[in-house]
Amino acid sequence: MGIKFERVSYQYQGIDQRGYLAIGDINLSINAAGEFITLIGETGSGKSTLVQHMNALLLPTEGRMKLFGLTIDKNTKKNKKIKLNPIRKKVGLVFQFPEYQLFEETVLKDIIFGPKNFGVSEEEAIKRAKKMIEVVGLDESYLSRSPFNLSGGEKKRVSIAGILAMEPDVLILDEPTSGLDPMGRNALLEVFYDIHKTLNKTVIIITHDMNTVYEYAQRALVMREGVLVYDGDPLQLFSKKNIDNWNLETPDILALSKAMETKFDITFSTPPRSRKALFTEIKEVLK
């Protein structure tokens, strides 16, 4: 169970008849629980298109997917018997642009919309809204405000709270921290990591920030021109060859570790992946 792609391609319909191939021939398996994945790639490489397949918002134009046991291909839309709603409950997707997700008069109504839609009682949905607004770093006073009068970062947090309130098995976040200040960014990343750790959920984060990949991910995916070119260990992703070939920025911790190795003529047996681990190594060397 979980998410499985078999040779999935998706073509957007353009103004002419030819269409535009946004992702091609993607093979991918993601577990229903326990994974922490980052997805990177240049702008226009197909990241958002790819994740919109994972909750069946977009259906493949070629190939097929298995989402929590349900087989989906280009004929699925025509078959009225196939219900996609249960998939949308299991796989929560926070859009890149929160404007697409917010539409109610108040933040409260927005957050409870999803859970209520999936059969949760109003009382329970409100309870979850009160909890989740805090989880994303806002407070209860926001619940009575209009989602349209919030800053970009606040809108983002509200749309994340709305998805969290549905308690999905798999949580997908399309650039959740873009436009946030560094403090806000780290605080939100800790929230996602906590959800993954304590509830054993699979979390997938699309990001342009290599520090997020290096410091948090257990598994890294890289899209390039609609093709999945890397699926594996985040440490090995940042080999010199890949950094050069794919024009990746070197993560801060990696750059500092390499500089230390050269300066002190040492080799780390386990490369530090976090600030804390790096400080420990520095203290060790300076003893």
Chain residues in the site for Mg ion (CB under 5 A): 48, 96
DSSP at 36: E
| Window contacting ligand ATP (CB under 6 A); options: 44-52, 53-61, 214-222, 263-271 | 44-52
| Window contacting ligand ATP (CB under 6 A); options: 42-50, 64-72, 164-172, 269-277 | 42-50
Alpha helices in the chain (DSSP H): 47-54, 85-90, 107-117, 122-135, 152-164, 182-199, 210-216, 234-237, 240-245, 252-264, 275-286
- Least distance CB 52 / ligand ATP (angstroms): 8
Q: Please say which residue, 42 or 104, places its beta carbon nearer to ligand ATP.
A: 42
- Least distance CB 20 / ligand ATP (angstroms): 5
Residue type, 261: E
Q: And the tokens for 101?
A: 């997700």
Q: Rule CB under 6 A: choose which of 1, 27, 29, 44 binds ligand ATP.
A: 44
Q: Please say which residue, 167 or 175, places its beta carbon nearer to Mg ion.
A: 175
The site for ligand ATP, by CB under 6 A, has a size of 12
Is the CA virtual torsion 42, 43, 49, 54 positive or negative? positive
Q: Please say which residue, 12 or 103, places its beta carbon nearer to ligand ATP.
A: 12
DSSP at 15: S
Q: And the tokens for 270?
A: 């386990």
CA 45 to chain centre: 15
Interface residues for ligand ATP in 79-118 (CB under 6 A)? Answer: 96
Question: What is the secondary structure of 43-66 as a DSSP string?
Answer: TTSSHHHHHHHHTTSS--SEEEEE
Interface residues for ligand ATP in 191-220 (CB under 6 A)? Answer: none
Q: And the tokens for 249?
A: 């920025």
- Least distance CB 229 / ligand ATP (angstroms): 13
d(CA 113, CA 103): 10
| Window contacting ligand ATP (CB under 6 A); options: 1-9, 37-45, 187-195, 209-217 | 37-45
* Interacting residue ranges for ligand ATP, rule: CB under 6 A: 12, 20, 22, 41, 43-49, 96
